[in-house]
Chains A and B, each alone.
Chain A
């Protein structure tokens, strides 16, 4: 398992533009995310509902050498972890839904994702599809949503990652929310 020094070094390398570092980094983060989540699932403690953001934070503490990692690296880390977290959640939801329908793994349309009727939860697959669409319309907004929803960054932190002013980030966040709410609210849309 990679030591915190390794991961920090990889992060630093990636910050400097070494894309090979990213490809080494992703599997490390991925393995760690799954491990911690499995353990948390297997041993749910009092008041401890599994939240993707708490998970990412815990992985961060585990993987990254706190003393070495500067702000830039941290932000990058959360970017990677947020993407991975999204991937993991979506993969699971797909398997879950597909099996439920009893015909093996297949691509589930957004409609099916709405099958889960919980009134106060946003279905993951629906969000994922919506984010894919947002990516095509405005990729910066999509990244922002990913960082906030899966990486747990605050608006200010997202501003630093995306290198925009905090006020721009706030406005963009509001726009992203409005767009997503609109997208997710429509139940008749098909892929």
Chain B
């Protein structure tokens, strides 16, 4: 089609749709004349236009199919779809389960995250591939197997809750386990043997429990093992291979299931098949033991025990070859090697018979020592155990808390510690560091305008500004360590500015001098003070260098790699350098703790949490503190890492956010920077001139309010939200008294209420993941949900609902099953009626009852004001761009106060009579404004201001 022709088609189409349907035909005839092809072209467009059903809505659910960066292995990339299998999309229901998202594709079918609407918990739904068998025998067997599996109840086995069947789909309802699979973990390198053994022990527990019930996994492999962030292991898909097996009866091994004939899946499973499985002989629990051996091998070696290019090659290796034992790290204990050898015996009759037998060999020596000693010194465990000489040597050496090794739950490192505020200044302090001898604390503060380094001796209360006379330091950001002490506690290093070499200065003051090459960062001295490690940030790959304590004589101990390195610290015994490694050092990045011998060599990964870890601070031989955000991006919080097991736990619960941590050499003193977000209510008068910052003042309140935001003014009362620990919720101040009206429901209240003339409240609440409308009396009682079929939309924190002036109706923007719109809801019936179609939100109702102002949704931070009369007739407003939701009527309805965009500080007024806009305020930017309202007498704008301030805390631990 030529360009010209298309333009004609388009023009005629567009003209035709403007006409009423009954007039279109005649219009077409006259417009196209005798060009039949042209007319057909337009007609086909008209036909498709007539059928249009929410094109974009169908488009938006493209979501699930994106970006396979993290998947490990070919079998993950293969979807086990057969042509007839339906795909479930989020929002759909399967019986009492509501689909939330697509988790992945496995050998036997797609797995979805779903919500059990009866029990209100999340589950994994595994949709079974293949047509539903009509054969009643198969169906009966499937159900029987599923029942057996459901009876399996063990902390290391992902539970099967049941089966959900509909006419088209059959799905298994499984326990949802978060976290990477073992396959993912191994994909990132071999696992340190202590950690591998901890995982292996849990697997043994799981396998043993299942075998006792007569259930065999049959498809055990790393992809079927999930490792949670807290170290708990869950084995998935137990026995499913049999339950869902093809018609071949028990003898048919899983990988040859007709539903899973994709090359990749067979390959993924073949590597763990026992020889008897590979030969299609009957399998029993010993096949699991073989697979366990393969998995243990792979955890330690980082590579599969049996590999090959094709399935045939792999199976041949399984049947004929031995694993390459040399691939196991040299530090692998003899006992573990023995277990591997016994598991990977090809003849099942000679193989390790009971998986429980493997447990002994995999146990932590300290556990055994404990039990041995407790039982009076005799060991019942048979051959190959630690000789007594070694045991007593360990005891004498007083290896740090062998008690603790046996116990799973470590006590908090801050147990019985005392917390003292070290600073409590206005402004921000950051990056607090304590000297190795525990006597000095240095930190950054903007107390005197720009950021400087301040230092103080513990206990003196005297602070010195070390860098007052120097140019301002680099822009702050509490994510990266910017200063620290030398090993002898006498000097402080710091980064003056990005790109400049680090400087060092005596803590008593003086002239700083450069001491490391430009671009290097975060030097750390060894405990004995003789050497130093640092990272060369000027080199894109962040190599780690070891040098002598002056920085001279450097050599690289860890070379380039695809990841970034940061923040190296020495272990107290000087044996290891711990550092962060991962993707870009940023707020949201994925960093883990790794460690490296100062002599060099391959580093080991210690954690697999992928949080934004920074400020590593060794506490003792076994624990490392650091600061990081949680998985849900809350925080940052303080964490303690138990090095041998690689398990991290959050320290110091509560709402305090920690943005830095540092420990003294003996671990007795810790300094941390604690962030204190604050929010308060302010007011500024509406004057004939622009109000300045000096005209603004804190809103006079009869009671101290702490953290207050989102103000709403009724005739008699002020309402606001508070969010700070125990007193969260909606507050009201009336007649000099404050009362907490409501706490949040299943999530904190985050929307301010709309207040009617007679003092009732309407508010948008989050209930079971939906935003719904609630009304209540002015004292927070008589809560009622209105219009439950409506989901309310709109900019967060701006309300989203408003009352009619006479208090009989409400207006909201939202959507129901028919689509989006602006809705009016009479309070007495609660039945919404659609005022306008389209995606319109955040309406406000004029006190004069002649206008409702609202806007569209925007991702870009500004929306255009729109108007409609309460009866639905349209109204032209002057073109004004505003912050989404950021507009309120003057009490007399003569104008609209608004904010121009997100992060604007200033208020403007739109005068309806003249259509003119004028700027009401010119405030100095002291904090972020989010929500505002106008006082009933029209004299003030009341708004919230939030700030982030932080303080330093000194934590002293009792002698251990």
Contacts and interface: CB of A to CB of B under 8 A. Distances in A.
Interface stretch (B77-85, B890-898, B929-937): B77-85
Given A37-B67, A71-B862, A154-B856, A89 B103 contact: no
B69 A34 contact: yes
Interface in A108-128: 115-118, 120-122, 124, 127
B690 interface: no
Interface stretch (B58-66, B128-136, B442-450): B58-66
Interface stretch (A7-15, A16-24, A52-60): A52-60
A53 B60 CA distance: 8
Contact of B83 (A89, A115, A122, A157): A115
A175 B860 contact: no
Interface stretch (B47-55, B678-686, B712-720): B47-55
A88 B858 contact: no
Nearest to A168: B14
B48 A182 contact: yes
Contacts of A49: 61, 63-64, 90, 100-101
Contacts of B55: 177, 180-181
B23 interface: no
A149 B52 contact: no
A182 B45 contact: yes
B917 interface: no
Given A116-B87, A178-B45, A181-B48, A157 B65 contact: no
Contacts of B903: 66-67
Contacts of B586: 1
A75 B113 CA distance: 35
Interface in A88-116: 88-89, 92-93, 95-96, 99-100, 102, 115-116
B396 interface: no
Interface string A37-57: 111011111111111110011
A120 B87 CA distance: 10
Contact of A50 (B1, B64, B68): B64
Interface in B69-112: 69-70, 74, 77-79, 81, 83-87, 89-90, 100-101, 103
B70 A37 contact: no
B67 A120 contact: no
B61 A74 contact: no
A1 B860 contact: no
A137 B63 contact: no
B191 to A, nearest CB: 19
Interface string B272-309: 00000000000000000000000000000000000000
Interface in B586-623: 586, 588, 590
B828 interface: no
Contacts of B78: 99-100
B346 interface: no
Nearest to B839: A154
Contact of B263 (A45, A102, A157, A179): A102
Given A38-B69, A57-B859, A138-B6, A122 B59 contact: yes
Contacts of B63: 49-52
Contacts of A124: 62, 65
Binding site secondary structure of chain A: helix
Nearest to A67: B903
Interface in B850-871: 856-862, 864
B859 A60 contact: yes
Contacts of B59: 122, 127, 149
B10 interface: yes
A153 interface: yes
A51 B861 CA distance: 19
A75 B862 CA distance: 12
B70 A38 contact: yes
Contacts of A52: 62-63, 66
A79 interface: no
17 contacts: A37-B66, A38-B70, A41-B70, A47-B100, A47-B769, A50-B101, A53-B60, A74-B860, A99-B77, A99-B78, A115-B81, A120-B58, A138-B6, A153-B859, A177-B52, A182-B44, A182-B48
Given A43-B631, A100-B78, A171-B17, 15 more contacts: A46-B769, A47-B100, A48-B100, A49-B101, A88-B66, A88-B67, A93-B65, A96-B65, A115-B83, A137-B1, A154-B856, A154-B858, A174-B17, A174-B49, A175-B45
Interface of A: 1, 34-35, 37-39, 41-53, 56-57, 60, 62, 66-67, 71, 74-75, 78, 88-89, 92-93, 95-96, 99-100, 102, 115-118, 120-122, 124, 127, 137-138, 148-149, 152-154, 156-157, 171, 174-175, 177-182, 185
Interface of B: 1, 6, 10, 13-14, 17, 44-49, 51-52, 55-56, 58-70, 74, 77-79, 81, 83-87, 89-90, 100-101, 103, 113, 115, 122, 178, 180, 262-264, 583-584, 586, 588, 590, 631-632, 769, 839, 856-862, 864, 902-903
